[in-house]
Structure 1
């Protein structure tokens, strides 16, 4: 069936930048030379712009046009919706939508992607367009470098330590292609890895076990001393500086999760024990001193040591997730704990081995598992490093082992990424307070859920067989997430699912609201549109707890966000100041 395709020309806009949305009808139903379409731009449920445009037939046989918007002074996020009428056997409408956001810096909403193929003669625009189509605004160049202890090379092309052919000219072309689309390019760099020859030449820079042998990752990479002022620290941060001067916008600083404690050689030839949780923040700080203009992201492997690095001089908190963080509820707990440490955005590298090219699961089951995991991470308030090279899905910590997915799944992912762009204020705003445990469930009655048949379990714990509910708020909005986990055969976040959740219909909600309500709305990435839909509501009395607002959500598939916009400080329209019960003695 024909549809309109909408695509911003940048992954993210800076304040004042003109916004240009490309509109295409790639499968015209007739040979019409021109076609009118109408469009609107919404900020949450509010229409901020609308207008009409014309699709003209190009030489390639595609009807296309543009929506041009003036620059936005304030940072915010928007959905774009367009519709056109075409002529076929009978007249019909075609529809399309997308989203865009405005930010001073990518770190306000870091939608992270990856590239891993830097062989000579790559197709740069195709990879860049895929990333752009999912609004990924910062991209990690994984294993682009000559070697871990010397990032750049004079050879062109060269062979990397794992035998791959890499072209720095290809890397530079990709950086250029991304920059044209408003996407920042980050160079992967291990903070403490050297090849064996460097380690043999500099044994005083190594970290050692308590038996005197050096730490290493197999026979490939040796672990170096990142203590403040060490020769290695100065060497590697100088390498970082050269990578930025060469053309990158930032650095992805990696570690391997070990060692956590080690022995180093001091300048006077003595030895001392060190804890790396104390060394990483200082290393990040030293990199920031040398790279004041560059972006920095540090990898907390298995959450270690996020408690010391959360407030280090980096732009986001990045966590590579491993067992024992294995359940959906573990992801939520991890994100909630990390949000308590810092107001910085959180990115999870949560690999999905069901897509692994060497041992793939049944594609449909892998894709169901991915949707459940994405919904969990986004509803919890974090971003997910998942998508990148050639439309791939990360399935392994060695990124070239990415997996593939179906065309239908890619379309669905596109809708999810449109959704998290348009509703970033309701999902990722650091001022959102999570009151899930205090508002609903157990003794709490500020927020209640139910169905007419009463056969659905609602729970604040993300586990199989329930509709998982979260309650968040900030000054002018209540946000309620419903994630459907009914009918799932497991709640392991990195496992495929035999079947999707069973749709739940007719969910009633009652919410204690003191302020005046401007509107109640529901939005989901699972339907035909991400547009906010208003929900009719009434005031009902709840025992002796006063009046509650009551409304019904018609259907829940995977994930729906309900939000109640408030007029802060204004008493609700149901408030009766004369209702105070006066008892005379």
Structure 2
């Protein structure tokens, strides 16, 4: 139960929404963001996280809608950590009739290092080796959920609710801890006398079998179950259950919010007759003994993993029965340390509503930190929590105060809009920008609940707004991303003030509207730029309370100039918005020094909502897309600028006959991957080739792959081919992207890769993602 607001008037906590909520159905499961709809529908794992060395079961949902039978097809799986392949690729054969479905299961053994995130890439090939489809999924290898918390919730405990299905949906978003909202009998007496079926305070019927079903299914998926309850509140009639009013908190004489015992009206009427919460002094030893005993009774009757303690926030000066005055927030540390000692090995999470008194929680013995944010509350410096930057500021401050913990942020999107317009969709841009602000800063969110729903209200059953299919896809990819890159997001990174320039675009380190929000972080190996797109976004309020937020203006092929602390020799970009979260190596276009210090320049293919750019002094290889031809070999791309992302031809060389114009170029239209591609074109007759020679290779077999789209608008070309060490592979001029490959045996240490076209005129050839890899 949450406080609707921390304003001066004690407005009704929950109105009739308690008894009649608007419930909006969600789509049935996580939706693949990359599926073409012809072959690969979804990729999921069997658990939310895994212990080091554990078996990871990958579930690959294949639906053949290609219009043809596939015999002798191949699925290839590669594991990546921060863009670099880990171990050997896994390959599995498949046959699938047209219109048939297949749920393929593949096992990957997790590496033995704890607290690491991985991106598993899945590629679907036909019998000829052509890539039909691909997708990715994040995998968290962590022995505990506390380092990288991904918090969710459940609230429906009706009879025969599908607890397995609802937990499975949360597992597919990698949720690793669940808050069991309002499962209890009463706040001061969470376990009913008959813990099989009971009414909660509002009259909702709760089935113990459903609570236990959630817990059992959550444990099977490696998800912690947290018993929700208030830490200092009792409902009407508390005196009949052994609670003494002398333990209570009372409004001080100068408190304008009320008189008598500090209380909160939850409803005008309920079937149980319970309408108010009454609050107690968390410093009172008798209250502590009482509520801790009640919580341990919870653990004796239900297999919860911990206690999620709640408050209704800070309401001004209070006094105790004997006249001592205090502020509730000043009691947090003492109470929480005593609570942790009382519940022993069980986890403890606590909500200082509005982040009021969060500094006292951060230094306590809680296992994870959590704070419900409201835009009218203020931080310790008096600044409102109303902007994207204010969320970042609190996340970073809490990390420092707590010794490195990642703050879980419930921040309810489009709150008033949802209450006034139930049954409408969330604004996609509003959700994604707030999520990016939190995760880029190193925090976490509480936003996803059972049945795949998203919160817009502190009363969790009030499912006022719903996610569109597009938003579900994007949030699914976002959660894969925060798992795959958890070691760059919240694994000891600290802030930097390194200068970041984006020529041609307004930028800011403060999250200003209509600018790119770019700021730096670092750890022991990487320097990192978090880049959130606020171009075209007129307000930097995270809440979007009116349900409105402009979609950022997407930009492509833009330059970044970054002033580094340590030398930079490799630059990578990763985004939940592009390439299914895969990292892409960027070409360094310049390095130098000026009055600002040492800098590096590079070009980034695109920015939609959120990019993370990470740089190191190591020289790391490029990686291929689409898998290898042989199954299990290395996928390091030995060619340079194979995707032409630098915007130049270097180190490729070109040839055309003397007296004819060059008939090639590099542009950003109709690319296969990234932001650039090479093309050949001339309306008149032309010959054109480009080549790159790779030397210093060890003996063995190598494979060249390239994506090519050739179209003969005039007569058919007399020659159009991929050339590898003098061997030719003809290109088909049918106007579609095709992947071509050629295998070569290297004995003299070099491979010459090229493309040649001899055209009578009006032949277009587009070339992208050229790779050279060594076979095992």
Work out which of the residue numbers 207, 210, 226 in structure 1 matches 2:249. Answer: 207
Look up the SS of the partner of 1:271 in the other structure: coil
Unpaired runs of at least 5, structure 2: 1-36, 254-258, 266-274, 377-384, 620-776
Q: Which residue of 1 aligns with 2:702?
A: none
User: 2:198: which partner in 1?
Assistant: 158
Deviations 1:44-96 (A, max 9, x none): 011003120245779x95312223122432121100001112599x9761111
- 1:18: which partner in 2? 55
Query: Within 1, Cα distance between the matches of 2:60 and 2:534?
Result: 36
Task: Report deviation, 1:539.
Answer: 3.3
- Distance, in Å, in 1 between the alignment partners of 2:416 and 2:94 is 38
1:394 Cα deviation (Å)? Answer: 0.7
Corresponding position: 1:42 with 2:103 = no
Matched with 2:317 is 261
Report the more deviating stretch, 414-423 or 363-372.
Answer: 363-372
Cα gap change, 1:405/1:40 in structure 2, threshold over 3 Å: closer, same or farther? same
Cα 1:81–1:549 change in 2 (3 A) is same
Q: TM-score w.r.t. structure 1 length? A: 0.88
Match in the other structure for 2:771: none
Per the alignment, residue 233 of structure 2 pairs with 193
Which is worse superposed, 496-505 or 183-192? 496-505
Task: After TM superposition, give the deviation of residue 32 of structure 1 in Å.
Answer: 4.8
Query: Does 2:572 match 1:499?
Result: no
Question: Once structures 1 and 2 are overlaid, which stretch shifts more, 127-136 or 496-505?
Answer: 496-505
User: Aligned runs of 1:492-571 on 2, under 5 Å?
Assistant: 492-495=541-544, 496-513=547-564, 515-544=566-595, 547-567=598-618
Q: CA deviation at 1:346?
A: 0.8
Cα distance, 1:27 vs structure 2: 4.9
For the pair 1:479 / 2:531, whether they are aligned, the reply is no
Please say if 1:93 is aligned against 2:95.
no
The normalised TM-score by structure 2 is 0.67
**SS where residue 594 of structure 2 aligns?**
coil
Report the alpha carbon displacement of residue 256 of structure 1 after superposing the two structures with TM: 0.4
* C-alpha distance in structure 2 between counterparts of 1:363 and 1:564, whole Å: 42
Paired residues of 2:329 and 2:357 also in contact (CA < 8 A): yes
Distance in 2 (alpha carbons) for counterparts of 1:564 and 1:254: 41
> Deviation of residue 467 (structure 1)?
0.4
**1:432, CA displacement in angstroms?**
1.0
Give the structure 1 partner of residue 296 of structure 2: 241
- Once the two structures are overlaid, the 10-residue window that deviates more, 302-311 or 545-554, is 545-554
Contact 1:365 1:497 in 2 (8 A): no
Determine if contact 1:199/1:205 at 8 Å carries over to the other structure. Answer: no
1:297-316 matches, within 5 Å, as 297-316=349-368
Query: Contact 1:355–1:361 (CA<8 Å) still a contact in 2?
Result: no
2:130 & 2:118 partners in 1: Cα distance? 30
Q: Does 1:114 align with 2:153?
A: yes
CA distance in structure 1 between the partners assigned to 2:577 and 2:284 by the alignment = 49
**Which secondary structure state, in structure 2, belongs to the residue aligned with residue 284 of structure 1?**
helix
- In structure 2, do the counterparts of structure 1 residues 291 and 375 end up closer, same or farther at CA, with 3 Å as the change threshold? same
User: Do the aligned residues in 1 keep the contact of 2:423 with 2:466 (CA within 8 Å)?
Assistant: no
Q: Which residue of 2 aligns with 1:126?
A: 165
Which range is displaced more, 323-332 or 28-37?
28-37
Once the two structures are TM-superposed, the CA of residue 38 in structure 1 deviates from its matched residue by: 0.6
Indicate if the aligned counterparts of 1:355 and 1:366 stay in contact, CA closer than 8 A.
no
After TM superposition, give the deviation of residue 36 of structure 1 in Å: 2.0
Counterpart residue number, 2:118: 78
Cα gap change, 1:427 to 1:378, in 2 (>3 Å): same
**CA distance in 2 between partners of 1:54 and 1:249 (Å):** 41
1:369 aligns with 2:438: no
Please tell me whether the aligned partners of residues 365 and 499 of structure 1 are also in contact (alpha carbons under 8 angstroms). Answer: no
Deviation string, structure 1 residues 450-475 (Cα, Å, up to 9, x no partner): 1xxx2x20111112110000100112
Q: Structure 1 stretches of 5 or more lacking a match?
A: 441-446, 569-585
Q: Which residue of 2 aligns with 1:577?
A: none
Please tell me whether the aligned partners of residues 36 and 53 of structure 1 are also in contact (alpha carbons under 8 angstroms). yes
Q: What is residue 172 of structure 1 aligned with on the other side?
A: 212
Is the CA contact 2:62–2:104 (under 8 Å) kept in the aligned structure 1?
no
> Equivalences for 1:319-330 in 2 at 5 Å?
319-324=371-376, 325-330=385-390
Q: CA deviation at 1:276?
A: 2.1
* Partner residue, 1:581: none
Once the two structures are TM-superposed, the CA of residue 542 in structure 1 deviates from its matched residue by 3.8
Determine the structure 2 residue equivalent to 1:417.
479
Residues 425 and 506 from structure 1, CA distance in 2 versus in 1: closer, same or farther, beyond 3 angstroms? same
Q: Aligned partners of 2:60 and 2:245: how far apart in 1? A: 59
User: In the alignment, which of 443, 453, 458 is matched to residue 382 of structure 1?
Assistant: 443
Count of aligned pairs between the two proteins? 548
The residue number in structure 1 matching 2:221 is 181
Which position in structure 2 is the counterpart of 1:344?
405
Between structures 1 and 2, the one with greater helix share: 1
1:284 counterpart = 2:336:
yes
- How far apart are the structure 1 equivalents of 2:72 and 2:104? 10
Is the CA contact 2:375–2:543 (under 8 Å) kept in the aligned structure 1?
A: no
